[in-house]
Amino acid sequence: MKKTTISDVARRAGLSTATVDRALNDRGGVSAANRQRVFRAAKELGYLPTEGMLPLPTRPAHLEFFIPFAHNSFMQDVARKITSFASSLPLVASCNVTALDGIDPDALVAALEGLPLRTNGVGVIAVDHPKTRHAIRRLCESGVRVVTLVTDVLSTPRSAFVGVDNLVAGRTAALIMGLTSREKKGSIGLFLGSRTLHGHQQREYGFRTLLEEQFKHLTILPAIETRDENKLFQPAMERMLRDTDDLVGVYCVGAGRAGIAEVLQAAKGNKRPFVIMHDLTDATRAWLAEDLIDVVIDQNARLIGEQVVIRLLGSIAASTPTLSLKNIEPRIIFRENIPLV
C-alpha cells in the first residue's frame, strides 16, 4: 500500500502543500478553517494516528514526560520509544523526556516546577504518595492533561493509565511458580522494588493471594524491599541461597535485578531456584538465554511508549479528561520464545 504523503493531504483538502505543512507542524499563517480542513483530510487518509474512536487534537500538542531513569534499563527503553514514536507524528509539536534521579516524590515535584507554560499533556511514572497526588491534581486543575504509565497514581484526576494490569501480572507469576513446583513443598523468595509504587503493591498482592489460594504447599519468605538498588539485591540473594535449604523459587517484582543474576551466575552448577522477573531488557534477554532465569513477564516498552503518546493526545482532544481504561496485555517470555523487539 502506498504511504500517504503531504501532497495527498493537500489534494484532499484543496490546499497547497505549504499550507498543509504549516498546519501539521503548528506554524503560523493558517486560518482556523483551513487548519480544520487539513486535519480532517489527514485523518481520512490515515496520515494521522488513530486509536479506535479516540478523538485527536486539531493542532499539534506539546508533551512532557517525567521518568525515573537511575540505572533502570526498562525505563530508559520506554523513554526511547516515547521520543521515537512522538517524533514521527505530525500531531506532536514537541516531546521532551526529563530523567528523574530515582522515585522520590520531591524529585518529581521539583521537576514539575519548571514545566513550560505551553505544555498540553504530561506523562509520569511516579510513586503513589500525597505529594505526587497533589502535584497531579494541580496540573489537571490548570488544564494540563496527565497520563500515568507503568505504575498508576490513584485518587487523582489523571486521564488514563498506560501499562499492564499489575494485579493480573502478579497472579500470573504465582500461577507459573505454583505449576512448576509440581507439589514440591518449599519456600519462595520475594524481592520488591518499593511498596510506594502502586504497580509493585499490586504485583505483590496478586502473587500472594493466588499462591495462598491455590498452592498452599509453598511458603513465601519475608519480602525484601530494595528500592531497585543492585547493591542491596546481591547480599540478600546470597543470604537466601545460603540460609534457605528448601528454596524452590524467586519472584522479583521490580528492577535492580542484576544483583540476583550475579549471585546465580556465581552459583552456577548448583541446583538453582526457579526465577521469575519482570520486563524484557538486554539484560533479561541474556539471563534467559544463559539459563540464569526462567520467565520474564513483559510490559512491552514499545507499546507503552506508543500508547502513552496516543492516550495523551486523545485526552487533550476529549471533552472530558478521563478516558476508558485499556490495559496492555503482558507477554510471558521463556528462553525459547524471546522476541526480537
Q: What whole-number distance in Å separates Cα of residue 334 and Cα of residue 284?
A: 11
pLDDT of residue 174: 97
Q: Are 190 and 251 in contact (CB under 8 A)?
A: yes
Task: Assess contact for 69 and 107: CB atoms under 8 A.
Answer: no
Q: Are 278 and 309 in a shared domain?
A: no
Euclidean distance between CA atoms 122 and 63, whole angstroms: 6
Please tell me whether residues 148 and 195 are part of one structural domain. Answer: no
pLDDT winner (highest mean) among 180-184, 229-233, 333-337:
333-337
Residue 283 inside a domain? The answer is yes
102 and 158 belong to one structural domain = yes
Give the relative orientation of helices 258-266 and 282-289 as an angle to the nearest 10 degrees: 20
Query: 236: domain CATH number?
Result: 3.40.50.2300
Q: Say how many domains are in the chain.
A: 3
Q: Give 5's contacts (C-beta < 8 A, 6+ positions apart).
A: none
Cell of 333: 517470555
- % of the chain exceeding 90 in pLDDT: 58
Between CA 268 and CA 263 the distance in angstroms is 9
| 54 part of a folded domain | no
DSSP 337: G
Please tell me the distance from the alpha carbon of residue 63 to that of residue 94, in angstroms, as a whole number: 6
Q: Is residue 339 part of a domain?
A: no
Amino acid letter, 124: V
Q: What is the pLDDT of residues 290-305, one digit of tens each?
A: 999 999 999 999 999 9
pLDDT for residue 95: 96
Residues 181 and 287 in one domain: yes
The predicted-structure confidence for 209-260, as pLDDT tens digits, reads as follows 999 999 999 999 999 988 767 677 888 899 999 999 999 999 999 877 888 8
Of residues 150 and 22, the one with the higher pLDDT is 150
Cα 161 from Cα 311, distance rounded (Å): 9
Domain that holds residue 323: 61-164+302-328
Give the helix ranges, DSSP H, for the chain.
Answer: 6-13, 17-24, 32-44, 73-87, 105-112, 130-141, 166-181, 198-214, 230-243, 258-266, 282-289, 301-317
The predicted model gives 16-23 an average pLDDT of 83
Per the model's pLDDT, the better-predicted residue between 271 and 107 turns out to be 107
Residues 35 and 145 in one domain: no
pLDDT of residue 338: 92
In a domain, 56, yes or no: no
Rounded CA-CA distance 177/174 in Å is: 5
d(CA 177, CA 274): 8
* Helix or strand holding residue 121 (H, E): strand 121-124
**Both 30 and 135 in a single domain?**
no
- Please state, in angstroms and rounded to a whole number, the distance separating the CA atoms of residues 12 and 244: 70
Residues 107 and 142 occupy one common structural domain: yes
Sign of CA dihedral 208, 210, 211, 216: positive
Within 13 A of 253's CA, how many CA atoms are on the CB side?
33
- The Cα–Cα gap between 4 and 195 comes to 47
Give residue 323's pLDDT band: very low, low, confident or very high (50, 70, 90): low
Q: Output 32 or 216, whichever has higher pLDDT.
A: 216
Span 114-166, pLDDT tens digits: 999 999 999 999 999 999 999 999 999 999 999 999 999 999 999 999 999 99
Shared-domain flag, residues 131 and 170: no
Residue 3: what pLDDT? 67
User: 10 pLDDT exceeds 90?
Assistant: no
Residue 187 sits in the same domain as residue 246: yes
d(CA 198, CA 3): 41
Q: Average pLDDT, stretch 43-70?
A: 76
Burial tier of 155 (Cβ tally within 10 Å: 0-12, 13-18, 19+):
exposed
